[in-house]
């Protein structure tokens, strides 16, 4: 007796909502790029530190001293948190509810990390707004995840 391979597939496979697809793709692009760039700055910190200093002096840009005073550890921690963000988006892409929690925790820690490393009094309101919007939009798709 031969087994039909199609019987092993679920009757109605879950379909990923369009909004979730768009959010995941945006997260893959943004967090993936930031993961790579933070790793690059961490590994080549001396070069980037000199570059940022010269750039700030040449173009009279205030606030660049935060980047030049940073330690490579900040960039490695940031890269790891972006890995968490990408991993969470990947799990949500596969309709796993756990991905939402991984993504949300990574985003919250990304908001806190600059406060810890640079002794800032509060996170950037813009970053809070963007992270909050993405978390709310992702949470609106939790019903389709298992």
Using one digit for the tens of pLDDT, what is the confidence trace for 101-117?
A: 999 999 999 999 999 99
Using one digit for the tens of pLDDT, what is the confidence trace for 47-60?
A: 888 888 888 888 87
1 in any annotated domain: no
Are 63 and 85 contained in the same domain?
Answer: no
CB 18 within 8 A of CB 93: no
106 in any annotated domain: yes
- Low-confidence stretches of the chain (pLDDT < 50) are 9
Instruction: Supply the mean pLDDT for the chain.
Output: 90
Are 52 and 77 contained in the same domain?
Answer: no
27 in any annotated domain: no
| Residue whose structure tokens are 């900040």 | 74
62 in any annotated domain: yes
The pLDDT score that the predictor gives to residue 68 is: 74
Are 77 and 146 contained in the same domain?
Answer: yes
Report the C-alpha gap between 128 and 1 in whole angstroms. Answer: 60
Q: Which candidate, 75, 68, 77, places its Cα nearest to that of 46?
A: 68
Are 79 and 66 contained in the same domain?
Answer: no
Q: Is 15 left (phi over 0), alpha (psi -120 to 50) or beta?
A: beta
Report the C-alpha gap between 69 and 117 in whole angstroms. Answer: 10
Map residue 58 onto helix, strand or coil: helix
Are 66 and 80 contained in the same domain?
Answer: no
Number of domains in the chain: 2
Q: What is the pTM of this model?
A: 0.84
Are 130 and 66 contained in the same domain?
Answer: no
């Amino acid at each position: 007796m031969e087994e039909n391979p199609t019987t092993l597939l679920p009757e109605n496979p879950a379909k990923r909502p369009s909004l979730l697809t768009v959010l995941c793709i945006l997260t893959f692009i943004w967090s993936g790029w930031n993961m790579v760039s933070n790793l690059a700055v961490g590994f080549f910190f001396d070069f980037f530190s000199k570059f940022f200093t010269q750039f700030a002096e040449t173009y009279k840009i205030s606030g660049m001293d935060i980047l030049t005073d940073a330690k490579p550890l900040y960039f490695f921690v940031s890269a790891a948190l972006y890995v968490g963000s990408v991993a969470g988006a990947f799990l949500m892409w596969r309709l796993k509810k756990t991905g939402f929690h991984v993504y949300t925790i990574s985003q919250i820690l990304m908001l806190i990390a600059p406060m810890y490393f640079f002794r800032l009094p509060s996170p950037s309101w813009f970053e809070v707004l963007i992270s909050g919007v993405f978390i709310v939009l992702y949470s609106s798709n939790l019903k389709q995840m298992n």
